[in-house]
Chains A and B, each alone.
Chain A
Amino acid sequence: ETGVTQSPTHLIKTRGQQVTLRCSSQSGHNTVSWYQQALGQGPQFIFQYYREEENGRGNFPPRFSGLQFPNYSSELNVNALELDDSALYLCASSSRVDTYYGYTFGSGTRLTVV
């Protein structure tokens, strides 16, 4: 059983650029959630994908968008990067059928916007 894999692990971008982060969910999980974690803060919910549809969104602007693919992997896209977008981006997979085991998080992508 594989866990959640995120790529890349680190990324440096310039303000105004666009970025795509990728996530492979754990085997057997059909739901993917994305979180932003600023330094010293708790994870903040960005959005969740289930069956390739966005299923719940947090308080993030439309320049944060995502996709889920038939194999349940997912992408997070951020356009027009701002300095405040610098954070750890976490992907978490889960099963709609069995929530007892909680969310499985990937190791995250550390994004720095300069």
Chain B
Amino acid sequence: GQQVMQIPQYQHVQEGEDFTTYCNSSTTLSNIQWYKQRPGGHPVFLIQLVKSGEVKKQKRLTFQFGEAKKNSSLHITATQTTDVGTYFCAVNFGNEKLTFGTGTRLTIIP
């Protein structure tokens, strides 16, 4: 079935370092969403990207949608301990279900 691949699976960074997670699809996407799930918590919606080449920022977080609308990235500048969690991209392939990527688990080393 249709799926999105997300890399890396795990990322350990020193506090203050940057972090990036990537989401890739073999098909062109109409839009892509990003969610954050804290340990023991539930996914929380961060943002939706719709336009080719779109770049959106939320404080230290930068979200990008590729020109071909087949990939996306989430970049966190100067990570903090509050950034710990798993970051998921999610895509609606037009069949009413939101398909989640495999997620990238971010661990911060103080």
Contacts and interface: CB of A to CB of B under 8 A. Distances in A.
A48 interface: yes
Contacts of A105: 42-45
Interface in B84-110: 88, 90, 92, 95-103
Best-surrounded residue of A102, A103, A106 (most CB of chain B within 10 A) = A102
Interface in A26-47: 33, 35, 41-45
Interface residues of A, number: 25
A90 B96 contact: no
Interface residues of B, number: 24
B42 A107 contact: yes
A104 B45 CA distance: 7
Interface in B23-76: 31, 33, 35, 41-48
A43 B33 CA distance: 14
Contacts of B42: 90, 105-108
Contacts of A102: 33, 35, 45-48
The 6 lowest CB-CB distance pairs between A and B, nearest first, are: A102-B45, A56-B96, A42-B100, A45-B97, A105-B42, A56-B97
Interface of B: 1, 31, 33, 35, 41-48, 88, 90, 92, 95-103
Given A45-B98, A102-B46, A103-B43, 10 more contacts: A42-B100, A42-B101, A45-B97, A90-B42, A92-B43, A102-B45, A102-B48, A103-B45, A103-B98, A107-B41
